Structure 1
Amino acid sequence: MPTAGQPLRKLGFLTIGRFDGDAPRDGHLETIRTIERAEELGFDSVWLRCRHLQYGISSPVAIMAAAAMRTNRIELGTAVIPLGLENPFRLAEDLATVDLLSDGRVNPGVSVGTPMRYDDFRHALYPDTHDVEDFSKERVARLLRHLRGEPVSDFEGTVGIETYSRRVQPHSPGLADRVWYGGGLSSAIWAGEQGLNYLTSSVVTTEGSDPVDFATIQAEQIDAYRAHHPDPSRARVSQGLVVIPTDSATPDQVRRYREYADARFPRTLEPQGPRRMLFAPDLVGPSDELAERLHAHAGFQRADEVAFALPFSFTEADYAQIIEDMATRLGPALGWAPAS
């Protein structure tokens, strides 16, 4: 655990890959450049958000494929792919293909549940089956079976000049062990029982927790995950707060970063909505100050790797400054050393 006396093992960040709807190529190329720069800086991982019908990454697997061809070492993750919009069979083919191209660097993070604003586009997504689609955790189980190479076809053999396999092809050994799942307490327990890795973020479901304190709730969920994992020594947990170091930021950047965090602070004061979602405050400041606050954070103390979230609405220059300070100032303050 990365307490004050122990080093952070893996440093990464999470990006939405925002773009202008009138010039989407530019934004996607910016994301690729950011991933390339992250590898140069020694980051261990870059994680891609997934956004449908928005101006952010809708196809993280395609972005990972492009990034795999421009990088050599950095891990490429998704946080997260909502499986309600995916066919697990086809997704398994795509993930395995990119994992092989990247030489085993893909970390698929997934989620389940009814897709956001599903009623707005369900007829376009599932014209004939939108009322009977199963959005339960069985969708994750299907994906895992396909990635592990369990049979999906009754036939194996050669017909004419074409050879058929019983399992999804290509098969990438070890990919199933790098699948991540996130969510509240019940999801943490389920992820542990399934032997999955566990993604945390800057939002938790309170689920009746008392006291209602973000760090305490997050720590309880991580503890529950590890307690239910069949091999806790192999259990990976990643924390994903919004953390913005300002060491090399200009005065204008510092002002905008603090205004961004201040505007979002009221939602951290009490649970929001019917699911009682509690948000973590965004952390903005010099790296030594941020390191002190993180070392005191009960959730951070239980994760030995992080994927700090980049805010949605900043510029390419802002992101460049933030990840530079993460790698050169904040990471070392947390005991992390860049990958060679």
Structure 2
Amino acid sequence: MKKIGFLSFGHWSEQQGSAVRSASDVLLQSIELAEAAEELGADGAYFRVHHFARQLASPFPLLAAIGARTKRIEIGTGVIDMRYENPHYMFEDAGAADLISGGRLQLGISRGSPEQVIDGWRHFGYAPAEGETDQDMAREHAMTFLGLLDGKGFAKPNPRPMFPNPPGLLRLEPFSKGLRERIWWGAASDATAEWAGMLGVHLQSSTLKKDEGGGPLGAQQAKQIRKFRAAWKEAGHEGTPRASVSRSIFPLMNDTDRMYFGSGRPEQDQIGEIDNMRAVFGRSYVGEPDQLIQMLREDEGIAEADTLLLTVPNTLGVDYNAHVIESILKHVAPALGWR
């Protein structure tokens, strides 16, 4: 059994054929798609976060709105770039959104990916300390955020406060108990996955992965997930470590599906360069349901993960993406033992 959700990059465009033409469109349609996915029986609604781009950026208003409109589905990010974040303000936003949703947030955080502008985090008022990198800064922000989620008081109260205080040092509010156990780290390398396991956060294996030893993306992710779980166990953490992978999967059920995705071109993993790193990019899976079932059986990364995030072409609109999700849940997942 697997948890199956969707991952939206939240694009909007005024180009011909786009059903998502503005920031308003993408926000409102993201809420509608989460509602539709929950009704179809999907397990999660996840969103990418990118700054300086015509994509979803500040996640917490969206997550709170989805939390208020749904009852069961997990709500998450994949991922929040911690180079841009004030951990204290993020704690308050995350706590509020989690309480509104009844404790359903699954927050993916990470160092982030290449952005639209050079050193965009500097425009947010952040810069690495001397001798440190932006990756170091992201991890420092993350460690501060995780520390705050423990809920311990740290701030000395004013002796003449405007409102009465509880005794002792004060913590930030609102505090959402249990959110610390629902933080994920997006990892593109084996070493980062092991670090996440030692830290006691769940693993989101990146949509692209550092090429470590060659081989298909799925095989490399399976190895990465096993290393993550071993590190979690070695660190002595309680609970069950979760690991997700994301895939583009499109069953060809009708003429519209064939028009969009039925090109007949063979899809293979691709090798590319990103951030001076040789990386392997996952293929798209396209075919009739029986064909997809056979292809997906061979994906070791999906087999190893407990959570599968379906990357959706959100600019095609809510109805079409709900159709794609429903097709996978009904015609592909059961034959693979995912449902």
TM-score (norm 2): 0.86
Partner Cα separation in structure 2 for residue 31 and residue 315 of structure 1: 9
SS of equivalent to 1:299: helix
Instruction: State the shift of 1:233 in Å.
Output: 6.0
1:179 corresponding residue in structure 2 = 183
Instruction: State the shift of 1:296 in Å.
Output: 1.8
Instruction: Give the number of equivalent residue pairs.
Output: 321
Is residue 2:335 matched to residue 1:329? no
Partner Cα separation in structure 1 for residue 148 and residue 46 of structure 2: 23
Aligned positions of 1:22-37 closer than 5 A: 23-37=22-36
Cα pair 1:80 1:111 within 8 Å, conserved: yes
Partner Cα separation in structure 2 for residue 47 and residue 262 of structure 1: 29
Cα pair 1:96 1:171 within 8 Å, conserved: yes
Aligned positions of 1:267-282 closer than 5 A: 268-273=269-274, 274-282=276-284
SS of equivalent to 2:277: coil
SS of equivalent to 1:278: strand
Instruction: State the shift of 1:119 in Å.
Output: 2.5
Cα deviation, 1:148-184, whole Å, max 9, x if unaligned, reads: 1133313377624353761121111110000000211
1:108 corresponding residue in structure 2 = 107
The one of 3, 6, 11 aligned to 1:13:
6
Is residue 2:242 matched to residue 1:236? yes
Partner Cα separation in structure 2 for residue 193 and residue 64 of structure 1: 28
2:230 corresponding residue in structure 1 = 227
TM-score (norm 1): 0.85
Call closer, same or farther: CA 1:277–1:156 in 2, change over 3 Å: farther
Give 1:175's aligned amino acid: L
Instruction: State the shift of 1:242 in Å.
Output: 1.4
Cα pair 1:288 1:333 within 8 Å, conserved: no
Give 2:199's aligned amino acid: Q
2:294 corresponding residue in structure 1 = 292
SS of equivalent to 1:270: strand
Call closer, same or farther: CA 1:298–1:121 in 2, change over 3 Å: closer
SS of equivalent to 2:300: coil
Call closer, same or farther: CA 1:15–1:150 in 2, change over 3 Å: same
Call closer, same or farther: CA 1:112–1:150 in 2, change over 3 Å: farther
Give 1:297's aligned amino acid: D
User: Any stretches of 5+ residues in structure 2 without a counterpart?
Assistant: 15-20
Cα pair 2:314 2:321 within 8 Å, conserved: no
Cα pair 2:59 2:77 within 8 Å, conserved: yes
Instruction: State the shift of 1:113 in Å.
Output: 5.6
Aligned positions of 1:72-151 closer than 5 A: 72-112=71-111, 116-119=115-118, 121-126=120-125, 129-130=126-127, 132=129, 135-151=137-153
Instruction: State the shift of 1:114 in Å.
Output: 7.8
The one of 250, 254, 258 aligned to 1:254:
258
User: Any stretches of 5+ residues in structure 1 without a counterpart?
Assistant: 1-7
